[in-house]
Amino acid sequence: MTANTESILEVRDLVKHFPLTQGVVVKRQIGAIKAVDGVSFDLHRGETLGIVGESGCGKSTLAKLLMALERPTSGSVRVNGKDIAAAKGGELKRMRRNIQMVMQDPYTSLNPRMTVGDIVGEPFEIHSDVVPKGGRRRRVQELLEVVGLNPDHINRYPHQFSGGQRQRIGIARGLALQPEIIICDEPVSALDVSIQAQVMNLLERLQNEFDLAYIFIAHDLSVVRHISDRVAVMYLGKLVELGSDADIYDSPTHPYTQALLSAVPVPDPEGRETRQRIILQGDPPSPANPPSGCHFRTRCWKAQDICAEQTPALEVRPGSDHPSACHFAEARDVVNAQ
């Protein structure tokens, strides 16, 4: 997983607002859900960028924007220099070949009436020039073998497989068009612990084999640490901190990152009486009406007047070497603090 610095995906000031309307005959817009509210980052060839955040922070909307399944309100998503957010028709179709997705729930993301062969081979129907018709079945069997399934099971249906095996089918479908980027939206959260490890090891092996770049979206911080080279922390539609896995986990500077990390239970009872926890009060505010200035200030113990007046930019601040969106950013090791 040696990541070089060539950017394969450049996201700039990406914004997605879903309008809230009122009235049946005459619709008026009364507001907007600010699901993604100004997100910028780069993804390098062959690396894994983890995106963590709680439910409702906009992670999945971000994934859909990167896939051009949703159109952004503003901003750009450049894949190999071309803006996928502005592409249409045949051009969009060609660009999508390069960026594929693995879904969260292997029980609902596979059509129960299609055989595994049809599911994994469907991308070839859409992009019919990739593999000639006669060779498709063999190609599907190769893909099944790559993800650790028995190629003879090509005619079985999804219900004949376990959760972990179904997730492998989803991964095989994602690999079919030989993309350079795969977006994994909570790929292991529906799986049992012992199966999670199998699927994560598979993803890592495939990355080395095919030089894939992953966007790995998850709410489980331990899983993200394990697989990611860099990690972005998201809160209410904005990135609040971005850095290497060591930056984020060993010296987080944003209070939200610190709270999130200290809430993760460590699987070791040793020293549990003295472990220090930052317990956040309440729930995240609604993205329809986020607080002014810093979105996190309503739950933050460092909040002062400036936080309500000025939105802190995601930038490198003194005393730290990675960008953080906090006026009072200060490194603090919360994971290993005993």
Identify the residue among 197, 288, 316, 331 touching another protein (CB under 8 A): 197
- Taking the complex as a whole, how short is the minimal distance between the CB of residue 264 and another protein, in angstroms? 5
266 near another protein (CB under 8 A): yes
- Taking the complex as a whole, how short is the minimal distance between the CB of residue 305 and another protein, in angstroms? 24
Choose the binding region for another protein from 105-113, 139-147, 150-158, 220-228 (rule: CB under 8 A). Answer: 220-228
Number of residues that bind another protein (CB under 8 A): 45
CA dist 144 and 246 (Å) reads: 35
- Taking the complex as a whole, how short is the minimal distance between the CB of residue 296 and another protein, in angstroms? 12
Residue 226 phi/psi, 5-degree rounding, is -60, -40
Angle between helices 163-175 and 193-210 (to 10 degrees): 20
159 near another protein (CB under 8 A): no
- Taking the complex as a whole, how short is the minimal distance between the CB of residue 77 and another protein, in angstroms? 27
Q: Which residues of 3-30 are buried (b: 16+ CB within 10 A; e: fewer)?
A: beeebbbbbbebbbbeeeeeeeeeeeee
162 near another protein (CB under 8 A): yes
Contact 12, 75 (CB under 8 A): yes
Nearer to another protein, 23 or 269 (CB): 269
26 near another protein (CB under 8 A): no
276 near another protein (CB under 8 A): no
Write the CB contacts of 279 (distance below 8 Å, at least 6 apart in sequence).
259, 263
Q: Where are the beta strands (DSSP E) in 137-229?
A: 181-185, 213-218
Tokens of residue 40, six digits? 């910028």
Site for another protein in 277-296 (CB under 8 A): 277, 279-283
3-state helix, strand, coil in the chain (%, to 5): 35, 25, 45
Residue-wise DSSP of 295-338: TTGGG-SS--HHHHHSPPPSEE-TT-SSEE--TT------SS--
- Taking the complex as a whole, how short is the minimal distance between the CB of residue 282 and another protein, in angstroms? 7
Nearer to another protein, 68 or 261 (CB): 261
Nearer to another protein, 118 or 204 (CB): 204
198 near another protein (CB under 8 A): yes
Identify the residue among 48, 100, 196, 251 touching another protein (CB under 8 A): 196
Distance of CA 6 to the CA centre of its chain: 20
Identify the residue among 33, 67, 223, 294 touching another protein (CB under 8 A): 223
Nearer to another protein, 200 or 316 (CB): 200
CA dist 259 and 279 (Å) reads: 7
Identify the residue among 137, 156, 219, 302 touching another protein (CB under 8 A): 219
| H/E element, 260 | helix 255-263
Site for another protein in 234-263 (CB under 8 A): 245-246, 249, 259-261, 263
- Measured CA to CA in angstroms, residue 191 lies from 15, 132, 162 at distances of 32, 35, 10
- Taking the complex as a whole, how short is the minimal distance between the CB of residue 254 and another protein, in angstroms? 14
Tokens of residue 216, six digits? 């790995």
Site of interaction with another protein (CB under 8 A)? 54-55, 162, 164-165, 192-198, 200-201, 204, 219, 221-223, 225-227, 245-246, 249, 259-261, 263-270, 272, 277, 279-283, 335-336
